[in-house]
């Protein structure tokens, strides 16, 4: 393949330094399995499942066929007072893999929309049950809950909120769970569960009865894979129960097998009240997200509706888009038929052995990992984020696509990754992280 570079004057790339990008563009022109190709034909292994989306790898014909067939059968349906059979089918399939009872599905188009929808559903539930004083939201430092205004309010990554204070609501933040003594912990750290007491403290400070919901990424993904300490999520659940606070797990990254179970809620055996999901919902092929809600929450909101007005004044033109539903059902079929969640669990020990083998490399300051998700913390560079950006570029030049956030590298190959490709990804990482001159 030798395609010309596109003209790059008009597309403003998100989360990108557009000036630097144009100086040395990193462009993918083709993808298949766990590989991308640049326009000039360089092969790049995909160590990030795109952006943690393509759990079953790229170019899946089953999904392409389902999408094509859906477009030719019913390309679009509005979902305000109308519906198509396929969204009910997809919601039922999702209910089948979600934790018991978290089985009412509200569809959106991105993880950010799922988070904002969940914020509104929590408020609607409390209003419906006579608790409209519950308007405060709790999140955590280092949290990433997308970039819409709800997610920006909940954000615990400072760059994502710094410039937008004028349009966010006042969420309060607990500490993250990482601490020095956890360095190089594999799986769930032994220490740190006591950080859940921050929530107890907030209930004392603000009044537990004023808090609507707590948003938690069961594994904090975007910051660089921070795995919950043993007992932490259980303690958060118990405090939420004590004060009647809803618990939302944001599983946009951890959903669909990344931890070795369908959802992290099942893997860690802690049941939230709502779960947000996106990314691998359609194997990343068509934009879509969902909020899964406990039956009693949906029923309370529906029961409180007056007359024939909608019970939730919220939704998107593309909520439950039939083409996205078709992609989602086809993705779920692949996950089931190839037992990809089971495969993730079986492959995880080898994956983590490989990652924890980087421990003594000169660029490595910490390693974290669970399931098929790992974080590699780099030694600090000249300025925060500089090392991450250099390493990301060097990895690309060496043939590996990976996501860096700040000075952390997030390694998350497809759950379908062939073992020899996974080992090759590890070799490239080893080579770059082994350099002493960065």
Residues that bind ligand PLP in the complex, under the rule CB under 6 A: 110-112, 115, 144-146, 217, 221-222, 250, 252-253, 278
Sequence-distant (≥ 6) Cβ neighbours of residue 307 within 8 angstroms: none
C-alpha to C-alpha distance for 416 and 333, rounded to whole angstroms: 14
Cross-strand partners of 172: 138
Shortest distance in whole angstroms from residue 284 CB to ligand PLP: 10
Closest CB to ligand PLP among residues 344, 361: 344
Shortest distance, CB of residue 378 to ligand PLP, whole angstroms?
20
**3-class SS shares of the chain: helix, strand, coil, % to 5:** 40, 15, 40
Nearer to ligand PLP, 198 or 250 (CB): 250
- Please, what is the minimum distance in Å from the beta carbon of residue 190 to ligand PLP? 25
Report the nearest approach of ligand PLP to the CB of residue 144 (Å): 5
Least distance from C-beta 384 to ligand PLP, angstroms? 20
The angle subtended at Cα 81 by Cα 78 and Cα 86, nearest 5°, is 55
Nearest distance, CB of residue 274 and ligand PLP, angstroms? 13
Which residues are CB-neighbours of 187 under 8 A, at least 6 positions away?
227, 352, 369, 370
Closest separation between CB of residue 115 and ligand PLP, Å? Answer: 5
Residues 6+ apart with CB under 8 A from 246: 122, 125, 126, 212, 213, 214, 240, 273, 274, 297
Name the residue number minimizing CB distance to ligand PLP: 111
Given CA atoms 170, 171, 172, 175 in this order, what sign does their dihedral have? negative
Nearer of residues 9 and 15 to ligand PLP, judged by Cβ: 15
Two tokens at 137?
């939201």
Closer CB to ligand PLP, 46 or 217, in the complex: 217
CB 212 within 8 A of CB 138: no
| Nearest to ligand PLP of 91, 252 (CB atom) | 252
Q: Which is nearer to ligand PLP, 128 or 320 (CB)?
A: 320
Q: Are 369 and 357 in contact (CB under 8 A)?
A: no
Helix, strand or coil for residue 277?
Answer: strand
H or E segment at 92? helix 85-97
**Beta carbon of residue 287, minimum distance to ligand PLP (angstroms, whole number):** 7
Of 99 and 221, which CB lies nearer to ligand PLP in the complex structure? 221
Instruction: Supply the minimum distance, in Å, between the C-beta of residue 435 and ligand PLP.
Output: 28
Angle CA 433–434–436, to nearest 5: 105
Angle at 181 between CA 357 and CA 406, to 5 degrees: 65
Partnered with residue 274 across adjacent β-strands are 248, 293
Q: Which is nearer to ligand PLP, 408 or 433 (CB)?
A: 408
d(CA 125, CA 272) in angstroms, rounded, equals 15
Question: Whole-number minimum distance, CB 436 to ligand PLP, in Å?
Answer: 32
Q: 281, 245 in Cβ contact below 8 A?
A: no
Residue whose CB is less far from ligand PLP, 290 or 400? 290
| C-beta closer to ligand PLP: residue 58 or 361 | 58
Cα separation, 367 vs 375, whole angstroms: 6
Strand partners, 415: none
């Amino acid at each position: 393949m030798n395609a010309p570079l596109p003209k790059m004057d008009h597309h403003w790339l998100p989360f990108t330094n557009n000036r630097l990008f144009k100086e040395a563009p990193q462009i993918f022109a083709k993808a298949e399995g766990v590989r991308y190709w640049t326009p000039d034909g360089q092969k790049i292994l995909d160590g990030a499942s795109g952006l943690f989306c393509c759990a079953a790898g790229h170019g899946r014909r089953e999904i392409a066929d389902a999408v094509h067939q859906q477009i030719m059968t019913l390309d679009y349906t509005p979902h305000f007072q109308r519906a198509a059979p396929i969204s009910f089918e997809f919601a039922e399939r999702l209910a089948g893999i979600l934790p018991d009872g978290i089985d009412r599905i509200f569809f959106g188009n991105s993880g950010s929309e799922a988070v904002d929808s969940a914020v509104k559903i929590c408020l609607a539930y409390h209003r419906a049950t006579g608790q409209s004083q519950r308007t405060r939201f709790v999140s955590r430092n280092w949290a990433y809950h997308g970039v819409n205004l709800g997610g920006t309010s909940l954000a615990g990554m400072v760059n994502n909120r710094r410039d937008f204070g004028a349009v966010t609501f006042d969420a309060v933040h607990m500490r993250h769970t990482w601490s020095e003594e956890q360095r190089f912990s594999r799986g769930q750290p032994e220490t740190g569960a006591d950080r859940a007491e921050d929530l107890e403290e907030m209930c004392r400070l603000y009044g537990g009865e004023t808090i609507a919901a707590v948003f938690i990424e069961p594994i904090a993904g975007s910051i660089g894979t921070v795995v919950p300490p043993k007992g932490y999520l259980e303690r958060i659940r118990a405090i939420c129960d004590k004060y009647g606070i809803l618990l939302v797990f944001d599983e946009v990254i951890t959903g669909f097998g990344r931890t070795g179970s369908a959802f992290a809620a099942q893997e860690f055996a802690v049941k939230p009240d709502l779960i947000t999901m996106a990314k691998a919902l359609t194997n990343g092929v068509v934009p879509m997200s969902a909020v899964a809600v406990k039956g009693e929450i949906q029923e309370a909101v529906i029961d409180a509706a007056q007359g024939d007005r909608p019970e939730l004044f919220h939704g998107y033109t593309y909520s439950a888009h039939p083409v996205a539903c078709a992609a989602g059902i086809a993705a779920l079929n692949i996950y089931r038929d190839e037992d990809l969640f089971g495969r993730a669990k079986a492959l995880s020990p080898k994956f983590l052995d490989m990652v924890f083998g980087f421990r003594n490399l000169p660029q490595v300051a910490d390693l974290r990992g669970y399931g098929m998700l790992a974080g590699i913390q780099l030694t600090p560079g000249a300025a925060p984020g500089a090392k991450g950006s250099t390493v990301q570029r060097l990895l690309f030049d060496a043939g590996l696509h990976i996501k860096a956030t700040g000075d952390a590298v997030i390694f998350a190959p497809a759950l379908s990754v062939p073992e020899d490709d996974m080992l090759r990804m590890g070799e490239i990482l080893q080579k770059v992280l082994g350099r002493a001159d960065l």
